[in-house]
A and B are shown apart, each in its own frame.
Chain A
Amino acid sequence: MPKKRKHLSRVFYHGVRLILGVIFIYASYDKILHPKAFAEVVYNYQILPDGLINVTAIVLPWLEMLMGIFLIMGFWMPGTVIWCNTLLVVYIGALCFNLARGLDVNCGCFSTTKGSTISIETILWDVAFLALSVYLLFFVFFKRTSGNKRSV
């Protein structure tokens, strides 16, 4: 691969890593501050059993926060990108499921306040984030195992 392309590829990788990291930290911030409100959002999705709602509302924002920090630091990238992709797939699945059911509920994507209901736009944004996340997965698991001795 020509030197310039390799350089651009690394720059793009770092850029995507930082963008997704900031997004996850931003998404987790309000949920960490308002766990009760986030628990109501989780309840309204009508997917989890009642016994898991509060635990999810307590743990999930911290998982997002850790993912965001680790993405920015470039720390534990294999595990971080796996969680990144997993959570985004789960979120998109939950959004599609509830949109199909016609549930008019608060998305809870970036905030626990009312007003941000589920919509096609919400799903498209998450799909875009997933595309970036899949790119990171590819880079971490395949490009870095191709014998490139330079650090990323």
Chain B
Amino acid sequence: MFIQFQEKASKTLGQHFLQSVWQCAAMFTLAVFLGISINQFRVSRLPLIEDWSMEALLKSPSGDRLDISLVEAKNLFFQKAAIMIDARPNDDYEKGHIRGARSLPWHEVDQRFMEVTKDISVNTPIITYCDGKTCRLSHDLANFILDMGFTNVKILVNGWTKWQNADLPVDKNGSN
């Protein structure tokens, strides 16, 4: 059933070590060859080098910028002209969130999207946020909401930290 390769008896540890070095190199070379050559023939080929900067990532599929500044987000908040949606896990939301923000954790988006957005019209400005300059939760959530037909979705990058640092209204542990 299994192909077995006979090893010579009584190899020294040094011989095994040398053998493992060239075998490791050969396996790595083979993996590189297979990965790159098969990638070349893919329909959706992945470029070997890609721009992973935040600016490049924060674009909608149509190429429009998705990020919003803190000043713009603050203005919309005080005008009550936008819905803030927190993309972080529920535990983080419970510890503290932007005042009035709705919780829609990215990892529960399939289960909770309809419940959270049922009373929001498709043209209503929505601002998603999470925490950390490189947090992707708000970006993934924003793209999902756009895919579901909403037309005016923005991302406040590192929103939770920026909002607190600017002493803007928050709700923490159930208190204001």
Chain A residues within CB distance 8 Å of chain B: 35-36, 39-40, 43-44, 46, 50-51, 53-55, 57-63, 65-67, 70, 72-83, 103-105, 114-115, 117, 140-142, 144-145, 147-149, 151-152
Contact = CB atoms under 8 A, between A and B. Distances in A.
Contacts of B38: 62
Interface in B3-26: 3-7, 9-13, 16-17, 19-24, 26
A4 to B, nearest CB: 21
B50 interface: yes
Interface string B103-117: 000110000000000
A48 B146 CA distance: 30
A81 B19 CA distance: 12
A58 B39 contact: yes
A108 to B, nearest CB: 13
A53 B9 contact: no
A135 B61 CA distance: 48
Nearest to A140: B16
Interface of B: 2-7, 9-13, 16-17, 19-24, 26-28, 30-32, 34-36, 38-39, 42, 44, 46-53, 88-89, 106-107, 132, 134, 136-137, 140
Contacts of B46: 35-36, 39, 54, 57-58
